[in-house]
Every structure is written in C-alpha cells, then in structure tokens.
Structure 1
Amino acid sequence: MASQSEQLTAAEISRLAGVTRATVSNWRRRHPDFPQPSGGTEASPSYDRRRIEAWLAARGRLPARSSRDDLRAHLHGRTPCEAGAVALFTAHLAGLDARKRAQTATLDDDELTAMYTQAVSSTGPGGSGHVDVPATLLRSAADVTHEEGPLAVFDVLEEHTDAPLGIRGTHLTPEVLADLMAGLATSGGPRVRSVLDPACGSGRLLAATAAALTPGAGVHGQEYRPVTAAQAKTRLAETAPKVSVDVRTGDSLRHDAFPGLHVDAVVCNPPYGDRDWGHDELALDTRWAYGVPPRSEPELAWVQHALAHLAEGGHAVLLLPPATASRSSGRRIRAELLRQGALCAIIALPPGLAVPHHIGLHLWILRRSEAGRPGQDRVLLMDASDEAAADEPSGQGRTSDTGRLHATVLSTWQAFVAPTEFTEVPGTARAVPTIDLLDDLVDLSPARHVRTAPMVTPDAALRDVLELAERLKADVAALTEASEIGPLASAGEASRTWRSATVADLARGGALAVHRGTRAASADTPPTDLADRPVLRARDLLGGTRAGGDTRETRLADPVVIEAGDVLITQVVGPQGVATRVAGDDDAGCLLGNGVFLLRPDPARLNPWFLAGFVSAPDNVSQATTGSSTHQLVASRLRVPLLPLDEQTAYGQAFRKLHDLRASARNAATCADEMADLMATALSSGALLPHGAELP
C-alpha cells in the first residue's frame, strides 16, 4: 500500500487537475480505467498519487507541476507541529531580501536545517519549540517563497490545516474594515509611532495600520496560534518592511506577551462570544481599572486590555458585537468608561461587512486620558448601518459603497475631534453629553440616540410618501396582472404521468450541464477578466435581488460565468423549499457563488423555464434532499419529465407566469412595508398631519 504522503483524496485530485470535485466523481463513474481506491474509507477513499498522475497525464489533464504542488505533496500526512515549523521557517525567510531568498533555494540539506534551527531559536518566548522537519519540506517552502512570495506558503498551509477558521470566535478582518480601522487609529490625535494588536490573527488589520506609519515605527502583535502568528509576521514583513515588527505567540488575556508596553494606538478584532477567556484566574488582574468583566463579557475584557496598553493620549479602535453596547451585565463597566472619559465613539456599521454577516458590528474608539487633563465629556454616536446600501440600486456597487462608508465615517470622526464644535448629522451622528448616557441602562447603541430626530423635513416626507403611494399602486396593478395566469384545463379523472430522467442522466446525455459554486480553499485571486464581476450568492436568489457578492470577499474555486437561460437553484433547502430562477440579462456575466447550483440546458432539447419549474417542485426537491439538521439539495437526483419541446414550452410559459406572480407579490409587499414605516415615522415625529388634524 502507498504511504500516506503518496495518497490523494478526491478534493486533492480536483486541485491537482484544476477541476471541480463533481468532475472527479464523473471521471470515477464514466471511465472504467480510472484508478481504484488504494486507501481511505468507503465514504472518503484515497488514491495512489502516481497512478492518478499517470491517468491524468495520458489524457492531457495534468497541468505543469508548480512549486505549490510540490509543497502540497510534501505536507500531505504531516502533523500540525510540522506545519507550524514550516510557518516559522517561512516567517524567517520573509525577513530576508530577494537575493538571500534566492540563495536559500541553493543550500544543501544541512544548511537548510541549520537555517531552520536559527529561525526557531529566534522566535523567543511563546514559540512552538524545535520540531524535526525533513529538509525536502523546508526546500519546498523555500522554492514557493522564492517564486511566489512567503504568503503563498501560508495559502498552502491553510489548505492543509483541519482547524476551523472561526475557532474561539476568531475571523479574518476584511480589507475594507482593516483600512477603516487603521484610518481611525492613526487620525484624530498626535502622530502614531507605535501600535499593538493583541489578537492579530494573520495580521491583516495590523498590516493595514503599519502601512500608515512612518519608517522605524514599532509594530507589536500577539496571536495564540503559532502558525497564524508566523503568518502575521510574514505579512508585516511583506507589506510594511520599514517598520520594526515584533509578533509573539500566546493568549493575550492570560499571558500578556508585552507587560508594561504602552503604545500610541491599539487596533483589535478580538474573538467574540468566548466564555473561556480566563474569568476565574484573572479576577484580580490589575488591567481591570474599570471593573471586573463578567464571564459573559469577554469583549469588555479586551477593551480594558487595550486601554492598559495605551500611552497617554493614545487611541484604541476595536471591532465588537453590538450587544456589547447594551447588555445589562456590562452596564457598570460601560458607565465607568464614560465617567473616566475613556470612551470616545461608537460607530454602528452595516450588516455584511464582516462575520457574522447578518449582524451590523460596532467600532469602539477609546482614549487614555492625559495626566492633568479631563477626559471627553461627550461621546460620538454614529449610526452608519444604512450607509453601504444607500448607493446600491443595482446590487453591484459594493466597491464604491464601501469607499463611501470609509470616507463618511473617517470625516465624521475627524470633525468630532477637531477643535471646532461638532455639528450634528440628523439621523446619523450626534455628540452626546456623557451625563445623558449615564442612566439605568447605559445603553450606548447608536441607533437609540441618533434616530430620535426626524430624518426628513415635513415637505420631503410628504413628497416621499406620495411617491411611494404611486409606486405601490403600480406594484398592486402588476400583481393583479400577474395573477391572470391564463386558461388551465383539468387532466381528467387522474393526474397525467410521464417518463422522467434524473439531472445526472440528462447531463450524461448532453441535454444539460451542471455546475456548483464552491469556495476556494486558498486565497488565490481570480483571473483578471473576472476580478470585478459581481457574485450571485444564495441570499440573492432567496431575496430575489441581483448579484451582490464581491470576488474580494468570496473567493471562488473554478469560477463559473452565468449565461442568460441558465437555471439557478439554491443548495440549502429551507422551510419554504429552494429558491430558483432562470438567469436573465441582469444575471448574465455574473459569477456563480458558493451554495448555488447552475443547470445549463441545451436550448434545442430543454426549455429553461420548464426545467426550472420541475426541478424546484416540492416533491421533487424532497426526494433529492439529504441531511438531518441542515438539508442539502443533491441536484443530480432531481427528476425531469421527458416531453417534446413544444409541450415543454407550454409548461415553461406557465411556470414563468408563476415566477412573475411571486416577484410582483414580493415587490408589492416590500413597497407597502416601506411606505407604512415612512408614514409611521413621519406621523409620530410630527412631520406629517393626518386628515382632520390641524396645526395649533
């Protein structure tokens, strides 16, 4: 039997050949000469690497082998400790110039091992310690570093690791938020010459902040996972080579790697919802100058940890869940932050910018008061939760919208800290006196304080209500028209029956092609011609909206371009079944997102609306669904009647009318809700008067 390092899973075969896993499954079924499994289990078989490579090469399916492929092969079957050793070695290479990196690839085995030993010994306290690693593995990492840069090594390591990305509530900080937080941390005060991120992860936020600093500035980071800490160190060496970098490994709350360090700025996207943050053992910690954080409030522990590391006059910017501003268990600490002038601002962000995507997170800006100078007696509360959606009529303006969000938030913050008096932005931002926030709840949610004043003038409110009323009339008229579904006839005493075939059978016969959007395992960028195309996500299908995903946030494996006439269907089956639609001109050219199936019919053999209607039928979906807690659709099991094209067209027209009926009903309901909300706000705020009421 082949050794574990010579075995390939189906997923690894798909990466090796540059195809989807579904294609590998098709090869297994359709080609009798496809190599038989040589290991693994019945549910997850593995195959001999040499036989697979020979089979692919015979069919011209084996791409030129890259240094990444060699590194993947050498990592296969290696332990997490060995992967961590490769990460430390790569972080060491990142600190070398291009000439020395090129020389590394020419070293013999003993010299490579000696360099690795030097890298491990230089990690200092909190390092993972020396682990024996084969020189061939080190050489593969050196080759990737020389050809593609050290961060490419970590892309391969992320494929290798089994640890979930969101362990202990940690998630990557999107570039949009990293840039915004860096801008907030480095503006509005004295020049920043030192910065700390106590939960730096892979270093994206810390690197964005370091890029704004002057050469020689001190950049400090701490991360409890050794591989990720090495990745952060590598990213900083690549993106900000002129700053002084010190990234250490360890749990910042339990084992602070920088005791006594005071910096000009702290940035942090701490893990949220982590009840095991060390509440019992840290009860008497000197960092809790504003109160001992309850077990259920780890975010307030991170807030105080950040304040403890600030120099006088320094600012901290933290990304926190919205509940931190309002939970009753944290009101005493929030009140003390207000009394001591440590809290400067809370900014509510739109949902979808970061994990968890369904929640709008908050940015907290804090300040360490200078000796002899009182703290802030006002707090900036800003509700930017609607900002990103304001200029998105097509669902494709994400880049410009996030740029507008960045500019709006940053300009508002700079206006707040300017010597002149801050001017309130109605419905968006207010400078609230501290005394007004110190009530029984100490609820600091921005919407509670900035949405109290009318957002529109009375004349504008009347104009908007009248416009919505006209739009609602048009939507109701469209709904009435759509309800005319045309003449139908009874099938008689018994329902009609027909022969049918599965989608898998139709695909084998060439009547249609099946694709599924899948997320890439690594952070490879899409081809240049696809980089700016919107991504059609499952949520877009469910909401009946245009494609709203971004290739920078949704990395796709094997990007599929949608064409008009494609049938789109969600993979997850909800209580109401699946969401389906036939791609139109608005969808054409977009990329197929994760969790969406695409059925591309041959128009000479299958009518797309006929296909969409039958594959989304409840009985059909039910028999093609698997899973217990989360129900997943297996598209290949869906059945389609075998009917002549003219009969398909008749059924397709009927299914299209049903689609129009649902869309009209959704539009009318949305418009009615919007109009009702606007009228309720305008009436309750005094902007509009009902019939019969008069001004005094």
Structure 2
Amino acid sequence: MPQSSAQVTAAEISRIAGVTRATVSNWRRRHQDFPEPSGGTESSPLYDLDAVRAWLASRGHASAATPAEELRTVLRLHAHGGGGTSEGLPLLVLAAAGRPAEELTAAVRLPDADLAARAQQDAASACDAVPAADAVRFETGDAAVLRALYACVRDEGGQAALAVLAERELEDSAASGAYRTPAPLADLLAGLVPGSPVRVLDPACGSGTLLAAAARRGAHELYGQDALGVQARRSAVSLMLTAPDASVTVRAADSLRADAFPDLVADAVLCNPPYGVRDWGHDELAYDPRWAYGVPPRAESELAWVQHALAHLTPGGYAALLLPPATAGRASGRRVRAELVRSGALRAVIALPAGASLPLHVGLQIWVLQRPEPGGPERKSVLFVDTAAETPAMTAGPGGTAGNPRPRGGSRSASVDWDRITVRALDAWRAFTKSPDTFEGESGVARAVGVVDLLDDVVDLTPARLVRASRAEIDPAELSAEVDATRRNLVRAAKSLARTAGEESWSAAGATAREWRTATASDLARGGALTLLRTQPDSVRSRAQAAGGGTGGGGRPETRAVLTSSDVASESGPTGDPVGPYDDTAPVIALGDVLVRAVASADGPMARVAGEEDAGALLGHHVHLFRPDPARLDAWFLAGFLGAEENIAGASTGSTILTVSPGRLRVPLLPLEEQRRYGEAFRHVHELRAEARRATRLAEETARLLAGGLTGGQLLPSRDAESEGAVRVRGGDSPR
C-alpha cells in the first residue's frame, strides 16, 4: 500500500529552498501553480512535500538545506514504526562513520528494500561494539530517514548526524535541562586533574563532552552514566567516534538512585550534574554509605553529586565538578561544606564569568576535590580563583586587534575569553598544588585561604568574597598610575571615535527603499563567484586518524592559531588553539576572505573581512569562510550584506540556538564598481564599530579602577571642587 507523502510548513519550504518566509508567501500569491495546501489550518497550512519539491525543481530551485537540516526535517516528518528504529539510528551512525564516502553514496542510491537491509547489516555490526545494545530492525518505510542519515554522515560527519538524532529524541521525550558542556570548559575541567588519569568516570555524562576531553588527555577507560537513555546512547557512540582506541562503557540510569558502577574506583571523576533537583532521592538514600561528609539536605542535590564523585575515587584521585554558585554559600549545606573543608577533600573553588555555560546568566563554579589518602599530608588551605572578576589591561592600539581582549562577562550575551580564563585557572592551580603552603597568589584573582579561616558560622566558599579580601595588598601609588594611564588612553580613544563618526555623511535613497535582485551564496558558488569552505568535522578527522595510525592520515601536530566564532564577534585576531592534528585539507584563512559566524546572536558583528592578522590562521569550527573572486565580488561588500541582520535571520534555523546555513545567505547582484562603493561604506562602519568598542572598554576599565580604588581606600576624592573628579593617592593630607 503506497504511503502518503509527508507534509511541510511554509517555514520548512523556506529552509528547503534557501529563501525567506516572505518569499514563500510571495510565491503563493503570485504563482497560480504553486501547490495548494494539503492539510493544516488556514493560518498554518501544510503542503505536500513531493509536490513542493517538484514545483521548486521545475523553477531551478535546488535544495539549499544542509544534510543535517535535511535529516532534521525528514526525522520530523517520518512516523517511526516499531522495531526500535530510533534506538538503532545511533548504531547506524557509528557504523556509517567508518565507511568511505563512496560507499555511503552507493548506499544512498539503493532501492528502499535494499537500503533497509544494508542499514540493518551496518547497525548489527555496530551492536557488538556498543555495550548492552539491542538488535534493531529497519523497514522499507524507513528509507527516507536512512538516506538522509547516510548523506549527513558522508557530508558533515558522524557527530553532526548524532547531534540531530539526539535533538529530535530529546524533543520527543520532553526532556529539559539536557545541555552540552562547551568544549573549552570541558577541556578546563579535564586539565584540572593532575597527571594523566587512565580510568575516568562521568556519572551525568550527557553527550559525553567531559569524557571526550579526558580522552584527549590520554584516558583509556571511559565510564559514563546518564538518566536519559537518548543521552547515554549519544554519549557512547560519540565517544567511540572521537576516541576509537579507548574502552567505552556507558549506562542509562539515575546515578544517585541506581549507580551502575557501584564497585568502580576511578582515577578521576568529571561531572556537570543537574542543578536544583529536589527529588533526587533524599529519603530513600538517607543511610547511603556514600555520605561520608554528612547527609546532603533535600535542597542540596549538588552536594550529593560531590560525595558520589568522591566515593568513586581512588585515594588521592581528583574530581572536578561544575556547580551553581549557591552551592558555595547556601545555609542548608553548611555542615557538609565544613566537613569537606575540614577533611581536606575540597582543594579549590574556581569562579567562572556569566555566559561560560548554561544557564548563561549565572556565573558557575568549578569545585576541585581530592579523596583523602590514609596517612597522607595535612591539607591546611583551599585555593580560590575568581576568573569572573579578572579584567585584562586595555591597550591603546586600534580596536579589534589581536592585542585587545574581549569584554568582561556579566550578561547573557557576553563573550567568554576561554584562553585567558584557562591560563588564569590552570596557572594558579598548578602553582598551588606544587607548594600549597608557600602559594602567594595574585591580588584580586587567586588566593589560598587557611582551613581555620573558612570554618566560621557560614562556611561561605564564594571565591569573589575570599579573593577580594586581599584588596588591601594593592599599592596605592601603582593603582593611581594605572588609573592615570587608562584615563589618557580613554581620552585618545574618545577623540578617535569622534573623528571617525564625523568623516562620512549619508543621504536618503529616495521616497522608497532601494530594491535589487539577489542570489544565494550557493548560486554564487556554483557560478564560480566565490568558494565556500568549512572545517573538517571532528568525527571525520577521528576516522582519518584511526586509518592513518593516529596522525590524521598524514596529518601533523598543528601549531598555527585558530580563528574562532568568538574572535569574529569580538573583532580580535585568532586566539583559538588547534585540537588534534590537522591534515592538508584544513582550510587556511587568506587575506580578503569573508568570515561568517555559524551561530546567530546579537553579540557583536556576524561577519568580517580577514585582515593581515588573520592570514595564515586555521579556520575554526562554527565559522564559515567565503572566498570571493576579486574580479566579480568586493570582499567588504560581500561581508556587509552576508552579515546583515535580516539576511542572517532568513538563513537561520533552530529555536534556542540559531544555526546559519551559509548557502542560503543572499547577496545583491550589482556591478563591481557599485559593489566597491558599498564596500567602502561597510569598511567605514566596521571602523566606527571598532573605535566605539575600544572606547567603551576603556571607559568601563577606567570606571572599575576608580570605583575599586575609592572603595578599597587606595584613592581619595580631591577636595578641590574645580578638579572635576580628580583623585589623590592615599598618604597625603588626612580628610577632616
């Protein structure tokens, strides 16, 4: 019996065609042969997918959707049958990721029945590698999903396909709070574990990011557990793709209530547990032997995770957990915190800026713990590091260069300078572990506090409170000199901004806005006007490494800097570090390339033209590279229109995270001379933004230094009313 065709919304048609929703509305009004709605409501009509594709093909509109988007759409439209299809798809990803591209292309072209049989064979071969994986069965009706999955793995890698599958299953399960730990944060947590631990556990592994970071540091035995089955499957397959030589064991169950590894003793535990869970098993686990430091109160599920991690460590082993700031000071957890400090189990608390991880408006903390060793050395102090308060010195050079730092965290859209945070945290931690008793710290950033000083009535372990207690150590004369230098830089920046703002005049286009014909970036690429490049997916690189004996199939240890999405947003030079070896196919940025961020946000510009400081750097993940033919496209003209707010919105998909589809971005079709006039205007806008950002950063830095000096006692307000806010170094006349 023939199956009915799938139905799509107008928004999905726009994604398939690579146009805006307004364009789809125009098609419906202007073309009488546009397919009639086949379902839905008058306000939200649905259209027959086959009819829409046929109509688009008749007008030469090739699909602009990426393979991942195609897979996402097909999964939504596909009615899963029995036989465990959804459970079997991750196994199929694992099998397909090890196949050559030509084999995947051949699989996509198979008839439906043959494709289902081929997929079943591939999934069965992967069952042996995945612990506790059940046999799956694919039907002929699954062919559309199987084709889309094979194509996605072939073109974008296994990790991209795996992420789409997990996203869909999480939507179906109505699960909340399932967020991916950012890779730089995962690397930081893994880096806080001294040495090279072999056996690592993550009892709330999610997508496996923390265990993958441990594998990059040499861990060979990876153990994970997650309460969500979809996350456990995703983690197991993802780790097998990224660490093919490691032993991977992942279980699906609640770690606190049903520990899948009760006898496991690990060298290290890394964890980003769920926060604020009241129903974590307080009543039934009241007498659990894991609570060696006190029974966690009902409102302190985070302290239950802390003790669960310690219980799984070998004596002397380390754990690093990402926790909300309330864990450090909430009154209900005082007794457990006191015992963790008194016993020497708590070694460090590191505060991160807001925006480091979800929830983005909260500055999270990293707790570093070490299981006490019988007869081991006495631990007399705890390290506290406040990376959230650390603000780098501002340079007087042009804004937007590699020498200028990003703005401080503190808002939902703040850029996080992971390089600076990682260096600050790891340098302080390594110096502290080398010699805890003689650790001098860094004023306002890092400080070792004695155990006796922490065991007061509240046992508040908030780094900001404890680190800033050393403000009295700041030298008044040095602070005054720093204030004067920063104010001089601010005055110069303000004058430069005023000059830049007054250089150009802008005239109205006329009674109505100008209109022009446009083409998608995909069309321009097919016509040879530009080349679109991207980085090789991690999973593809992992397969190449496995095939080439760990060298990326001829790859080499990479030392060049990587230009990241944050670099584009903050208009800085390349600041990223390469992860693993890069082969000769890795895109290298050239002068005049146009760089577009792959995730849409209002945090800084979406696009820019590569300058001399970018040339020679590697292209980072989440950055699209457009290389225009200078004889046909002006680079600044291209960057200006590609990064336009409406253009980005029309080419983005997703709900919480908006992913930009580069091929769907549209560019006006204008003569080269006119492009250059627009390009000069966009270049001026770029310079204006850079000068404004530099002046803003210097103003914030000046205000911070002044306020801190006045409240800390290092600076005095002038008694001369005519000085307009001048400050004086303490040590002059005493105020009366």
Query: What TM-score, normalized to structure 2?
Result: 0.66
Q: Which residue of 1 aligns with 2:95?
A: 93
Question: Given the alignment, which residue of 139, 157, 166 partners 1:134?
Answer: 139
Give 1:137-536 correspondences, 5 Å limit. 137=143, 139-140=146-147, 141=149, 144-145=152-153, 149-158=157-166, 160-161=168-169, 163=171, 167-185=175-193, 187=194, 191-213=196-218, 217-374=220-377, 376-387=379-390, 394=400, 401-418=417-434, 421-454=438-471, 456-470=474-488, 506=513, 509-510=515-516
Q: CA shift at 1:291, angstroms?
A: 1.9
The answer to whether structure 1 residue 674 and structure 2 residue 704 are counterparts is yes
Q: Which residue of 1 aligns with 2:56?
A: 56
Q: CA shift at 1:108, angstroms?
A: 6.9
Whole-Å separation in 2 of the counterparts to 1:407 and 1:321: 22
Question: What SS does structure 1 have at the residue aligned with 2:57?
Answer: helix
Q: CA shift at 1:90, angstroms?
A: 2.7
The alpha-carbon distance between structure 1 residues 63 and 365, as it changes in their structure 2 partners (threshold 3 A), is same
Tell me which amino acid in the other structure corresponds to 2:56.
L
Residues 570-626 of structure 1: CA distance to partner in whole angstroms, max 9, x if unpaired?
Answer: 89xxxxxxxxxxxxxxxxxxx9999xx99999999xx99xxxxxxxxxxxxxxxxxx
Residues 16-48 of structure 1: CA distance to partner in whole angstroms, max 9, x if unpaired?
Answer: 334454544444445443322212333433221
Residues 435-456 of structure 1: CA distance to partner in whole angstroms, max 9, x if unpaired?
Answer: 1111111111112122222364
Q: CA shift at 1:356, angstroms?
A: 2.4
Q: Which residue of 1 aligns with 2:505?
A: none
Question: What SS does structure 1 have at the residue aligned with 2:449?
Answer: strand
8 Å Cα contact 1:196-1:219 kept in structure 2: yes
The alpha-carbon distance between structure 1 residues 331 and 425, as it changes in their structure 2 partners (threshold 3 A), is same
Residues 119-148 of structure 1: CA distance to partner in whole angstroms, max 9, x if unpaired?
Answer: 6698666x7x66754254485345654665
Tell me which amino acid in the other structure corresponds to 1:409.
A
Whole-Å separation in 2 of the counterparts to 1:172 and 1:539: 20
Whole-Å separation in 1 of the counterparts to 2:295 and 2:240: 37
Q: Which residue of 2 aligns with 1:577?
A: none
Question: What SS does structure 2 have at the residue aligned with 1:431?
Answer: strand
Q: CA shift at 1:423, angstroms?
A: 3.0
Q: CA shift at 1:362, angstroms?
A: 1.2
8 Å Cα contact 1:178-1:204 kept in structure 2: yes
Deviating more after overlay: 242-251 vs 475-484: 475-484
8 Å Cα contact 1:461-1:682 kept in structure 2: no
The alpha-carbon distance between structure 1 residues 671 and 436, as it changes in their structure 2 partners (threshold 3 A), is closer
Relative contact order higher in (CA < 8 Å, ≥ 6 apart): 2
8 Å Cα contact 1:568-1:598 kept in structure 2: no
Whole-Å separation in 1 of the counterparts to 2:119 and 2:284: 42
Q: Which residue of 1 aligns with 2:729?
A: 688
Residues 198-244 of structure 1: CA distance to partner in whole angstroms, max 9, x if unpaired?
Answer: 11111122111112225xx2110112222222221122112211111
8 Å Cα contact 1:196-1:267 kept in structure 2: yes
RMSD: 5.5
Q: Which residue of 1 aligns with 2:46?
A: 46
Q: CA shift at 1:54, angstroms?
A: 1.3
Whole-Å separation in 1 of the counterparts to 2:417 and 2:448: 25
Whole-Å separation in 2 of the counterparts to 1:132 and 1:71: 19
Identity %: 39
Q: Which residue of 1 aligns with 2:528?
A: none
Whole-Å separation in 2 of the counterparts to 1:26 and 1:50: 20
Tell me which amino acid in the other structure corresponds to 2:461.
L
Whole-Å separation in 1 of the counterparts to 2:90 and 2:8: 26
The alpha-carbon distance between structure 1 residues 28 and 133, as it changes in their structure 2 partners (threshold 3 A), is same
Whole-Å separation in 2 of the counterparts to 1:395 and 1:592: 25
Question: What SS does structure 2 have at the residue aligned with 1:163?
Answer: helix
Q: Which blocks of at least 5 consecutive residues in structure 1 are unaligned?
A: 485-498, 516-522, 542-549, 572-590, 609-658
Whole-Å separation in 1 of the counterparts to 2:338 and 2:329: 11
Q: CA shift at 1:276, angstroms?
A: 3.3
Residues 262-321 of structure 1: CA distance to partner in whole angstroms, max 9, x if unpaired?
Answer: 100001111223333333333332222222222322221211111111111110011112
Q: Which residue of 1 aligns with 2:724?
A: none
The alpha-carbon distance between structure 1 residues 162 and 262, as it changes in their structure 2 partners (threshold 3 A), is closer
The alpha-carbon distance between structure 1 residues 339 and 102, as it changes in their structure 2 partners (threshold 3 A), is same
Residues 322-346 of structure 1: CA distance to partner in whole angstroms, max 9, x if unpaired?
Answer: 2211122211111111111110111
8 Å Cα contact 1:37-1:45 kept in structure 2: yes
The alpha-carbon distance between structure 1 residues 93 and 115, as it changes in their structure 2 partners (threshold 3 A), is closer
Q: CA shift at 1:182, angstroms?
A: 1.5
8 Å Cα contact 2:101-2:154 kept in structure 1: no
Whole-Å separation in 2 of the counterparts to 1:481 and 1:165: 57
Whole-Å separation in 2 of the counterparts to 1:566 and 1:44: 31
Whole-Å separation in 2 of the counterparts to 1:413 and 1:166: 40
Q: Which residue of 1 aligns with 2:609?
A: none
Whole-Å separation in 1 of the counterparts to 2:390 and 2:448: 19
8 Å Cα contact 2:166-2:231 kept in structure 1: no
Question: What SS does structure 2 have at the residue aligned with 1:222?
Answer: strand
Whole-Å separation in 2 of the counterparts to 1:436 and 1:685: 29
Whole-Å separation in 1 of the counterparts to 2:488 and 2:64: 61
Whole-Å separation in 2 of the counterparts to 1:53 and 1:670: 53
Whole-Å separation in 2 of the counterparts to 1:53 and 1:439: 70
Tell me which amino acid in the other structure corresponds to 2:451.
T
Whole-Å separation in 1 of the counterparts to 2:286 and 2:173: 29
The answer to whether structure 1 residue 16 and structure 2 residue 80 are counterparts is no
8 Å Cα contact 2:192-2:426 kept in structure 1: yes
Tell me which amino acid in the other structure corresponds to 1:365.
V
Q: Which residue of 1 aligns with 2:78?
A: 77
8 Å Cα contact 1:380-1:429 kept in structure 2: yes
Deviating more after overlay: 158-167 vs 368-377: 158-167
Question: What SS does structure 2 have at the residue aligned with 1:358?
Answer: coil
Whole-Å separation in 2 of the counterparts to 1:684 and 1:307: 43
Q: Which residue of 2 aligns with 1:576?
A: none
Whole-Å separation in 2 of the counterparts to 1:207 and 1:342: 25
Whole-Å separation in 2 of the counterparts to 1:361 and 1:551: 29
Whole-Å separation in 2 of the counterparts to 1:206 and 1:330: 28
Q: CA shift at 1:536, angstroms?
A: 8.1
Deviating more after overlay: 169-178 vs 3-12: 3-12
